[in-house]
C-alpha cells in the first residue's frame, strides 16, 4: 500500500501556510548569525504574572490534582468565568449551562465547527482573518464564504451580500478587536449583527481574544452585551493575551446554551479537561483585580506608540491601532506592487526585520503587513533605524 498525499484528502483542502515561507527565511538568516528583530508571531514575550505561576506551583505538588480533570472545566472555574462576565460586562452567564472551558480558544473554535457542521455547510469568515477562523471550518469539512472585513459599513454590506448566496450559510464568525486588522467596534455594531443573525437564522461566533488589550480609554464591548446575543451566539475568550498565558492553553466559550451543550458533548468524547493546576491558576487569574492585565496592556500600548512614532520618523506612516498587540501597516506606496509576501521577504533580507505578510490572513490583506508587538522598545527603535535603508 502506498500512502501518498492523496490519502490525506483533508490536507489538500488546507491552503499552504504562507507564514512558513517567511519563517524559513528568518531561520536561515539566524543560522548565518544575523540578528533578526522578530515581529512575526503574536506570541507574548513576557512571563505570566507571578501570582498565577505561584498558584500553579502550589497546586502542582498536590497529588489530587494529577488525575483526569473535567472536560467542561472545573465548576469553580466556570463560576469564576461567570463572575468575570458580571464584573466586566454586566452579563449574566449560568456557570453550568452557558460556559465551557477550552484548551485555548483555537481548540474550542475548532471543535465547535466539528460539532456544528456537516460536509459542505457554509460559514462566513472575515477576510482578512485570524487563520483558525477559516481553517477550523475546513478541518470540519465545511466551506468558507469570506466577507470583507475592513470598515464597519463595508463589512455589514459584505455580510448581507454573502448571506443572500446559496447555499445559505449556517454561521458567521466575527472577531473584535480584530487580529490582524486591529479594527474595533462598538456595541451598536453587535446589536446590528444580532438583528442580522435573527433575520437570517444563523449562529454568530465571536472571538474575543483581545478583550482587554485596549488603549487610550477605548473599552471593547463583549458580544454578549448585545440584546438577544445569547439567542444567536457564543463568544470565546483566551487567557493567552490578557494574562500572558499563551503556553498554558486555557480559554473559555460562553453564551447560547444549545451551542455550549453541543461543544460540551463533542469535547466529552475527546478530552478529560486541562491539567487541573492550570485550571486552578486560571481561577486565580480571573478572580484577581485587574492590575496585571493593566500592566500587560500598558506594555503593548508603549510599544505601539514607540513603533508608530519611530517608524514615522523613518518615513513609514502607519495608522495607530486602538487595541490588540498588533500594528497592521499598509505597505508604503513605493513597494506596494511587490505584494505582502515579497515585501516581507525584503524586510528580512534588507533590514533584518520579520513581520507577517498580510496575504497570510486572506487575499484582502495583501496590501498590508502585520507587526506583533513582542519586541521591546529598544528593539523597536533598532528596527525603525534599520528600515531607513528602504528610503521610504
Ligand X SMILES: Cc1ncc(COP(=O)(O)O)c(C=O)c1O
Residues at the contact surface with ligand X, assessed by CB under 6 A: 42, 104-106, 130, 175, 179, 207, 209, 238, 240, 246, 251
Biggest alpha carbon–alpha carbon distance for the chain: 62
Indicate the residue among 208 and 311 with the shorter CB distance to ligand X. 208
The answer to whether 19 and 337 are in contact (CB under 8 A) is: no
Indicate the residue among 209 and 323 with the shorter CB distance to ligand X. 209
Indicate the residue among 207 and 375 with the shorter CB distance to ligand X. 207
User: Least Å distance between CB 174 and ligand X?
Assistant: 10
Indicate the residue among 204 and 390 with the shorter CB distance to ligand X. 204
b/e string for 342-359 if b means 16 or more Cβ within 10 A? Answer: ebbbebbeebbbbbbbbb
Indicate the residue among 55 and 133 with the shorter CB distance to ligand X. 133
Three-class SS state of 340: helix
User: Least Å distance between CB 209 and ligand X?
Assistant: 4
The answer to whether 387 and 350 are in contact (CB under 8 A) is: no
User: Least Å distance between CB 182 and ligand X?
Assistant: 11
b/e string for 103-142 if b means 16 or more Cβ within 10 A? Answer: bbbbbbbbbbbbbbbeeebbbbbbbbbbbbbbbbbbbbbb
Three-class SS state of 262: helix
Angle at 70 between CA 91 and CA 107, to 5 degrees: 70
Indicate the residue among 263 and 387 with the shorter CB distance to ligand X. 263
* Closest alpha carbon to 104 in 258, 219, 225, 267: 267
User: Least Å distance between CB 337 and ligand X?
Assistant: 29
Amino acid at each position: 500500500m502506498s500512502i501518498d498525499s492523496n490519502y490525506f484528502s483533508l490536507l489538500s483542502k488546507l491552503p499552504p501556510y504562507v507564514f512558513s515561507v517567511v519563517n524559513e527565511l528568518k531561520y536561515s538568516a539566524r543560522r548565518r548569525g544575523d540578528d533578526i528583530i522578530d515581529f512575526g508571531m503574536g506570541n507574548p514575550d513576557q512571563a505570566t504574572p507571578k501570582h498565577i505561576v505561584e498558584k500553579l506551583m502550589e497546586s502542582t505538588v498536590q497529588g489530587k490534582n494529577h488525575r483526569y480533570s473535567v472536560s467542561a472545566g472545573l465548576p469553580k472555574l466556570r463560576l469564576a468565568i461567570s463572575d468575570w462576565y458580571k464584573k466586566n460586562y454586566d452579563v449574566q452567564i449560568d456557570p453550568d449551562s452557558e460556559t465551557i472551558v477550552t484548551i485555548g480558544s483555537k481548540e474550542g473554535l475548532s471543535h465547535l465547527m466539528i460539532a456544528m457542521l456537516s460536509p459542505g455547510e457554509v460559514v462566513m469568515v472575515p477576510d482578512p482573518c485570524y487563520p483558525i477562523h477559516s481553517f477550523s471550518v475546513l478541518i470540519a469539512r465545511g466551506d468558507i464564504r469570506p466577507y470583507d472585513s475592513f470598515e464597519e459599513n463595508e463589512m455589514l454590506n459584505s455580510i448581507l451580500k454573502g448571506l443572500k448566496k446559496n447555499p445559505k450559510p449556517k454561521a458567521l464568525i466575527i472577531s473584535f478587536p480584530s487580529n490582524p486588522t486591529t479594527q474595533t467596534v462598538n456595541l451598536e455594531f453587535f446589536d446590528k449583527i444580532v438583528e442580522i443573525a435573527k433575520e437570517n437564522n444563523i449562529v454568530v461566533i465571536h472571538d474575543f481574544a483581545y478583550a482587554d488589550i485596549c488603549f487610550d480609554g477605548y473599552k471593547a464591548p463583549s458580544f454578549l452585551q448585545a440584546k438577544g446575543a445569547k439567542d444567536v451566539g457564543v463568544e470565546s475568550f483566551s487567557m493567552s493575551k490578557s494574562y500572558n498565558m499563551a503556553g498554558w492553553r486555557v480559554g473559555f466559550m460562553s453564551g447560547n446554551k444549545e451551542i455550549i451543550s453541543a461543544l460540551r458533548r463533542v469535547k466529552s468524547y475527546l478530552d478529560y479537561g486541562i491539567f487541573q493546576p492550570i485550571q486552578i491558576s486560571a481561577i486565580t487569574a480571573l478572580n484577581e483585580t485587574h492590575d496585571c492585565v493593566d500592566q500587560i496592556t500598558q506594555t503593548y500600548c508603549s510599544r505601539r506608540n514607540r513603533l508608530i512614532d519611530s517608524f514615522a520618523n523613518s518615513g513609514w506612516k502607519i495608522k495607530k491601532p486602538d487595541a490588540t498587540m498588533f500594528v497592521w501597516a499598509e505597505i508604503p506606496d513605493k513597494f506596494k506592487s511587490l505584494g505582502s509576501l515579497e515585501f516581507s521577504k525584503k524586510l528580512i533580507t534588507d533590514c533584518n526585520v520579520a513581520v507577517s505578510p498580510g496575504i497570510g490572513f486572506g487575499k484582502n490583506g495583501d496590501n498590508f503587513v502585520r507587526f506583533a508587538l513582542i519586541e521591546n522598545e529598544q528593539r523597536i527603535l533598532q528596527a525603525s533605524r534599520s528600515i531607513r535603508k528602504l528610503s521610504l
